[in-house]
Amino acid sequence: MLFSTATGYALRALAALPEDGSYSLAKDLASNLGLPGPYLAKILQTLAQEGMLNSVRGPRGGFRLSRPAHRITVGEVVSVLDGLDSMTGCVMGFVNCDGRDKPCPLHDAWCEVKSHLDATMSMVTIRDLQLLDLRNQSGAPRARCLGKNNIVLPANVPTGSLGK
**Alpha-carbon distances of 25 from 49, 73, 126, rounded to whole Å:** 16, 22, 19
State pLDDT tens for residues 108-151.
888 888 888 888 889 999 999 998 865 555 555 555 555 555 55
**Model pLDDT, residue 12:** 95
Average pLDDT over residues 87-105: 82
Residues 6 or more apart whose Cβ sits within 8 Å of residue 114: 87
Domains assigned to the chain: 5-163 (1.10.10.10)
What confidence category does residue 31 fall into, taking pLDDT thresholds of 50, 70 and 90? very high
Mean of the pLDDT values across residues 8-29? 94
- Specify burial of residue 101 (Cβ count, 10 A radius: 0-12, 13-18, 19+): exposed
Q: What is the mean pLDDT of the chain?
A: 83
